[in-house]
Structure 1
Amino acid sequence: MEKHYPVLSEKSIVMRWGDMDAIGHLNNAVYFRYLEQIRIDWLEEAGFPITPDGIGPVIAHTACHFKREISYPATLHITIELEHLGRSSLKLRHRFFCGEDRTTVYAVGEVTLVWVDYRAGKSVPIPQALRDMAGAANPV
């Protein structure tokens, strides 16, 4: 049984025809593009846009576990779940759903983000406002 984490957000993405591979399934590399897009959207909506001269996240680790194939046409719903909140890093888990079905998980993604000062190239604490936003969702 798969463990579930507190959901911070859920985003929808409409699969494009060109996102398929040669056998008609969502290309495995595109899953990571979708994860990137929903994280960027979430961060921007939360007031943490990526600015090259500021502080922000870099990816320390990412993975995707493919459970079922996804075929065109599809509207995907992808969760952003908080697995762990550390001093300068957070680990997010993502579940991919298709259409209105929220019982069948098509893929599970994960990413560890480390907050850094981009110019200094050093880790920094996650901003307090982001910690506050995560609030009680931190499963510790």
Structure 2
Amino acid sequence: MENRLPVIDRKTITMRWGDMDAVGHLNNTYYFRYLEQIRIEWLDELGHGIDPDGVGPVLASTGCVYRKELVYPATVVITIELEKLGNSSLKLHHRFFREGDEETVYAEADATLVWVDYRSGQTVRIPEPIRAAISGERLPA
């Protein structure tokens, strides 16, 4: 399997029975909830969890293309791929796989995050430690 974009992380989420809709597959709204959860975990791991008194990301746009139904039981593997890194924003691409079947893309999604000062509402530059982690650069000691 060839990656289109650099994969900067992979996360897994265990699908729950209640995540399915009336026709027996993962409800479309849960794709977005799963994306939200993996973004929060990813930022926490980078040491930049959401702090309402600090700076952090807000979701500027998101979308999803559903390719194949995910059904229970499943562990869902979601990639975090860097599509674009700007001064105050970044665009991520995600692919959804089923654990054990990482050849089949079940869905693809995009999310654009903009960094802001939560108190002022003003756009700010993405913090250097996050930029370094995303781009694979090392910060000077």
Superposition deviation, residue 3 in structure 1: 7.0
Taking structure 1 as reference, are residues 136 and 49 closer, same or farther at Cα in structure 2, changes over 3 Å only? closer
Task: Provide the alpha-carbon RMSD of the alignment.
Answer: 1.4
* Identity %, equivalent residues: 60
Aligned to 1:126: 126
Report the residue type matching 2:24 in the other structure.
G
Structure 2 regions of 5+ residues with no counterpart? none
Residues 20-59 of structure 1 mapped to structure 2, 5 A cutoff: 20-59=20-59
Report the residue type matching 1:111 in the other structure.
A
TM-score under structure 2 normalisation?
0.93
| DSSP 3-state at the match of 1:80 | strand
Alpha-carbon distance in structure 1 between the residues aligned to 2:98 and 2:86:
31
Report the residue type matching 1:27 in the other structure.
N
Report the residue type matching 1:57 in the other structure.
P
Superposition deviation, residue 4 in structure 1: 1.4
- Number of residue pairs aligned between Structure 1 and Structure 2: 136
Report the residue type matching 1:48 in the other structure.
H
Aligned to 1:86: 86
Aligned to 1:115: 115
